[in-house]
């Protein structure tokens, strides 16, 4: 069986200034349950601080 590998990263809207961004969270990481949970919490926290839909998880095929 062929497995397709994916990577995920945290993304944010242009409303977030470069000084307020955490560059480490914008790096691509393997899409594992642990990494997805970590980024989901970061996106939710970012939305609470900066407003709804300012943060999301982006996914790509590795």
pLDDT in tens, 8-38: 999 998 887 777 777 666 799 999 999 999 9
The pTM of this model reads 0.82
Do 4 and 37 form a contact (C-beta atoms < 8 A)? no
Residue 16 near residue 10 (C-beta atoms within 8 A): no
Q: In the numeric block, which tokens belong to residue 40?
A: 């989901």
Q: Judging by DSSP bridges, how do beta strands 6-12 and 29-30 pair with one another?
A: antiparallel
pLDDT number for residue 44? 97
pLDDT for the residue 4? 73
The whole-number pLDDT of residue 3 equals: 77
Quick one: DSSP state of residue 51? -
pLDDT score, position 20: 74
């Amino acid at each position: 069986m062929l497995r397709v590998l994916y990577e995920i990263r945290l993304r944010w809207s242009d409303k977030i200034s470069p000084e307020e961004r955490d560059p480490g969270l914008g790096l691509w990481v393997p899409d594992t349950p642990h990494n997805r949970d970590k980024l989901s919490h970061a996106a939710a926290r970012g939305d609470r601080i900066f407003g709804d839909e300012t943060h999301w998880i982006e996914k790509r095929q590795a």
